């Protein structure tokens, strides 16, 4: 039994949808798995020199936790082919968690319900805006209150996501540490209004509303200081033709929504980082509508 689990990247928050909105992208981490007499990990691509290859490896931790949940134990060897940048707000950790859970299902021959999958996944990452899109694909709106409630919405096929990837590693813990413990009523109302506007604009394909709809007062104003010239990057993205520009997840990647001028938008935003001496690159990505997949090898 040898198989490959492919799990998509995700961009979350999309401005005002803090811990609520997530979008799967056509950029994948692959996990090639087969049973073994002992656990072993090989890593190729992103994180090959930095990610742990022992029991601290996140894929193995998720796999072993799921097997324990299923009342089983069976060592595996896994080769990770990582294409998603680490610590950049593109859900790389979520791919390892989802991949480990699906590998355990395949090895054990048992299936978990979505609530069970989320229960296991939340032990490692208690935020649905990356885990859910990685598993289900598509554009996901999620809410948690003990139980998980979510819905997949249609995404306009005209819109691609331009992701600018600066060489700035930001851990989720670091990005969350700068957030306040409470917010004013006016800031909360501001975000509620713009989440509603964002969802309406996407469903009606009124893309001119997106610039206002992705404005945020809950996380971007506090995280912007972690990313040099953040607001200038956003301005250059708009100048080059983007409908919306926002911080992807906890950062440091910056996402732009557009239906054209993709190369120009990517270059314009990267130029800001280049002028600061910060290496950067950009990716032009379609939305993944299928989520995580398993392929027999």
Question: Would strands 147-153 and 139-145 be described as parallel, antiparallel, or unpaired?
Answer: antiparallel
| Tokens 């990610």 belong to residue | 51
d(CA 15, CA 255): 10
d(CA 44, CA 215): 37
Residue 235: what pLDDT? 98
**Domains of the chain and any CATH numbers:** 3-154+287-296 (3.30.230.10), 160-285 (3.30.70.890)
pLDDT tens-digit readout, 140-154: 999 988 788 999 999
Task: Determine the 3-state secondary structure of 218 from DSSP.
Answer: coil
Listed residue (270, 266, 220) closest to 242, CA to CA? 266
Listed residue (31, 285, 288) closest to 136, CA to CA? 288
Residue 172: what pLDDT? 75
User: 65 to each of 115, 121, 239, 294, how far by Cα in Å?
Assistant: 15, 9, 47, 19
Omega within 30 of 0 (cis) for the link into 78: no
Contacts by residues 231-236 (CB-CB < 8 Å, ≥ 24 positions apart)? 232/272, 233/164, 233/269, 233/272, 233/273, 236/268, 236/269, 236/271, 236/272
Residues of the chain scoring pLDDT < 50? none
Listed residue (197, 247, 192, 259) closest to 222, CA to CA? 247
Cβ neighbors of 97 (< 8 A, separation 6 or more) are 58, 59, 62, 121, 124, 125, 131, 134
Residue 127: what pLDDT? 82
Upper half-sphere CA count for residue 55 (Cβ side, 13 Å): 4
d(CA 281, CA 198): 27
d(CA 73, CA 69): 10
pTM of the complete model beyond 0.85: yes
Helix (H) or strand (E) holding 270: helix 262-275
Crossing angle of helices 58-69 and 92-108, rounded to 10°:
40
């Amino acid at each position: 039994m040898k198989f490959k689990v492919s799990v998509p990247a995700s961009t979350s928050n999309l401005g005002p949808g803090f811990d609520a909105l997530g979008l799967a992208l056509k950029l994948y981490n692959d996990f090639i798995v087969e049973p073994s007499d002992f656990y072993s990990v090989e890593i190729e691509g992103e994180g090959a020199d930095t990610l742990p290859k022992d029991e601290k490896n996140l894929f193995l931790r998720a796999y072993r936790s799921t097997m324990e949940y299923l009342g089983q134990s069976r060592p595996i060897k896994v080769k990770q082919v990582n294409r998603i940048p680490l610590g950049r707000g593109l859900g790389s950790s979520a791919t390892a968690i989802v991949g480990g859970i699906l590998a355990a299902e395949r090895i054990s021959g048992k299936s978990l319900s979505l609530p069970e999958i989320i229960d296991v996944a939340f032990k490692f990452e208690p935020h649905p805006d990356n885990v859910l899109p990685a598993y289900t694909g598509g554009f996901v709106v999620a809410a948690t209150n003990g139980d998980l409630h979510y819905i997949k919405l249609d995404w306009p096929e005209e819109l691609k996501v331009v992701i600018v990837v600066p060489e700035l590693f930001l851990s989720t813990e670091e990005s969350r540490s700068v957030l306040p413990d409470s917010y004013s009523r006016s800031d909360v109302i501001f975000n509620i209004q713009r989440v509603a506007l964002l969802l309406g604009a996407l469903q009606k394909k009124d893309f001119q509303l997106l610039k206002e709809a992705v404005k945020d007062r809950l996380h971007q104003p506090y995280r912007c200081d972690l990313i040099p010239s953040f607001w200038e990057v956003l301005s250059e993205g708009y100048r080059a033709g983007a409908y919306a520009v926002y911080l992807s997840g906890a950062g440091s990647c910056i996402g732009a929504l557009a239906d054209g001028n993709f190369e120009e938008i990517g270059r314009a935003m990267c130029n800001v980082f280049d002028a600061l001496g910060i290496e950067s690159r950009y990716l032009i990505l379609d939305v993944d509508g299928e989520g995580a997949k398993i392929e027999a090898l």
